[in-house]
Structure 1
Amino acid sequence: MLSARRRRRSSEPSPLSSQTLKKYREYISDSDTSSIMSNQQSFSSPPNHHMHPTNPHMQNSQIAYGTGMIPTNFSTPASMASLPLPSQTFMPQSSLSDFDIQRLATAVKNMMASEITNMIKDTLNKEIRQLVDVHVAKETASMQQTMETLASKNKELERRVDELEAYSRKNLIRISGVGEEEKDTGEALIKIAEKLNIPITASDIEVSHRVGPVNSSRPRQIIARIKNYDLRHRLLKNSKKLRSVSGMTGIHINQELSKARGKLAYHARQLLREKKIKGTFVWDGRVIIVDHNDVKHTIQSVDDIMNIVDGLGTGSDT
């Protein structure tokens, strides 16, 4: 029985001592570390297909990676298989010559210069147009204001001149309808005054004469200046009586008006014929119209007449 036990013990492997087990583990650990380091170097260093400097027979069977040598049939661990392989980078090479580059640079320079020139021209033209428009607008406004001022001043001057002319004609009368056979215009005026029972002498007449060219169809009018203003006023006031005096039909005595007021009197008579006003007359050099409401208006311009006709009533009431 004792021999059987001895045989059984000799057939079983004896357990490793602790020191032997420790050395075995260190060996395994160093081997794994070297294997992993060799695999990492294989992916970080480019392959060298040349012969090993110390072993000229090592060509295709082994490949030198860095400082270690790994067989060609080395299998990549599964944990390293997903890493990307290094790729060789190729730099593009230019086929343009220096002459071509110079031509391109010149073309780009000319194109940019042309565009910049056009931009500058457009900008300058725009600025110039704006400045011109502003200047023209200012000048136009200034000229318009000047014209309005001058027009207002001219109108005022015309009014003053008309007043002076009317004042200078204050003692004048105009007689129409006296035949050309009456050569002495002063004597003709005295005869007319006698028919109106107004005593007048040659000394009361400062001057008298006919005006206008000779007309065979009708006699020329007579203008006379009366020295006494009251005498002139009586002649004008009683002139309507001549319509009923024998031999005096067709003779009229009127006030001598300035050219501007004569036109106003003419327009007023036209409106009377058209029945747009009720009446019109001239008194002391002023043209007066009567509307259909029996309101009298002194007229100083054609606009006054039209305003009154249109019902605006801008004329001066008397």
Structure 2
Amino acid sequence: MSKDLAKLFLELKEELKAELENFKDAVERNVRSEERSLRTELGEMKASLNFISKGLDDAHRRLQVTLCENKQLKKENESLRTTVFTLEKDLVESQASLLKSEQYTRNRNLEIKGIEQTENEDLKQLLEKIGEKLEEPITESDVDISHRVPTKDDGKTNIVVQFQRREKRDKVLQMARKKRLTTTLLGLPTDFPVYINEHLCPTMKKILGRAVARKREHCWKFVWTRDGSVFARRTETSRIVAITCENDLNKICADISV
């Protein structure tokens, strides 16, 4: 009986050993399979991470290039803005200088408005008559040249007189501002007011016209010219405003502090 039990026990032991070996082999196979699977997944994850990392590096590099280009563009833009500002300033100064020079060539001139042109007109005699009425004689030797110039009104012309000396022109202008002339006083068959003013260049005439319009619009009292420049004044006691260019017209406004 003892031998049978020993044999049975030995057989059972061999069976258990075989089962254990089989179990061990199965576990090892599963572990190796899982390991291969994990290695595959880890490899794929690593590849993905490398791809993402490369993409981030490329994006960062492009961002740096863009930032660098943007910085350079800002620098160039600022340089261009400075250049444009300088050019605009130079242009304004050049225009002002040109305007001043253009007006300077007229500093011995007067423009007479309101006298209709007649046949066989003698401007020499007409100027002598004007000087007589102004009590500031105008002789032939005082005048360099006189002639008619067209105006915006069809068929109407003004008289431009260039004096030999500016001092003489100023004296005649001073008297013309004190005494009001008419064509009747000059012995002409009509009865119209005669205006004697400084001879302004086209640009200054335009500025004067717009200044007068703004004076009316904003209820200012005075706009006048002196030495080829335009001036304005809101009231008798307010400060005098010089109008030397188009932008200065904005000074004629409704601001009560002016």
Number of the residue aligned with 2:208: 265
| Cα distance per residue 1:162-195 (max 9 Å; x no partner) | 2222222110111122222254444433332233
| Cα distance per residue 1:274-308 (max 9 Å; x no partner) | 35211111122121212125333332234434235
Q: Distance in 2 between the 1:195 and 1:225 partners?
A: 19
What are the equivalent positions in structure 2 for 1:125-136 lying under 5 Å apart?
Answer: 125-136=62-73
Number of the residue aligned with 1:226: 163
What are the equivalent positions in structure 2 for 1:213-292 lying under 5 Å apart?
Answer: 217-239=154-176, 240-243=179-182, 246=185, 247=188, 249-274=192-217, 276-292=219-235
Q: Distance in 1 between the 2:234 and 2:184 partners?
A: 31
Q: Distance in 2 between the 1:166 and 1:133 partners?
A: 48
Number of the residue aligned with 2:134: 196
Return the offset for 1:238.
2.4
Q: Distance in 2 between the 1:110 and 1:260 partners?
A: 77
The answer on 1:174 being equivalent to 2:118 is no
What are the equivalent positions in structure 2 for 1:110-125 lying under 5 Å apart?
Answer: 115=52, 118-125=55-62
The 1:105/1:61 distance shift into structure 2, 3 A limit, reads: closer
- Amino acid of the residue matched to residue 180 of structure 2? K
| Cα distance per residue 1:77-131 (max 9 Å; x no partner) | xxxxxxxx99846212668xxxxxxx99998898677646643442333223212
- Amino acid of the residue matched to residue 60 of structure 1? L
Q: Distance in 2 between the 1:253 and 1:127 partners?
A: 72
Counterpart secondary structure, 2:87: helix
Number of the residue aligned with 1:39: none
Q: Distance in 1 between the 2:49 and 2:218 partners?
A: 81
Return the offset for 1:227.
0.8
Number of the residue aligned with 1:300: 244
- Amino acid of the residue matched to residue 298 of structure 1? A
5+ residue gaps, structure 1: 1-54, 66-84, 96-102, 314-318
What are the equivalent positions in structure 2 for 1:33-112 lying under 5 Å apart?
Answer: 59-61=7-9, 88=24, 90-92=27-29
| Cα distance per residue 1:214-259 (max 9 Å; x no partner) | 96x5421222210122221122122242049534633211101233
Q: Distance in 1 between the 2:123 and 2:152 partners?
A: 15
Counterpart secondary structure, 1:251: strand
Q: Distance in 2 between the 1:88 and 1:197 partners?
A: 140
> Which of 144, 148, 166 pairs up with 1:206?
144
Number of the residue aligned with 1:76: none
Q: Distance in 2 between the 1:272 and 1:106 partners?
A: 86
Structure with the bigger RCO (C-alpha within 8 Å, sep 6+) is: 2
> Which has the greater radius of gyration?
1
Q: Distance in 2 between the 1:123 and 1:208 partners?
A: 79
Aligned residue-pair number: 231
Counterpart secondary structure, 1:194: helix
Q: Which range moves more in the overlay, 225-234 or 112-121?
A: 112-121
Number of the residue aligned with 2:37: none
- Amino acid of the residue matched to residue 156 of structure 2? P
- Computed over aligned residues only, the root mean square deviation of the Cα atoms, in angstroms, reads 3.9
Please give the TM-score of this superposition, normalised by the length of structure 1.
Answer: 0.59
Identity of aligned residues (%): 23
5+ residue gaps, structure 2: 14-19, 34-39
| Cα distance per residue 1:123-181 (max 9 Å; x no partner) | 33322321222122111111112212222222222222222222221101111222222
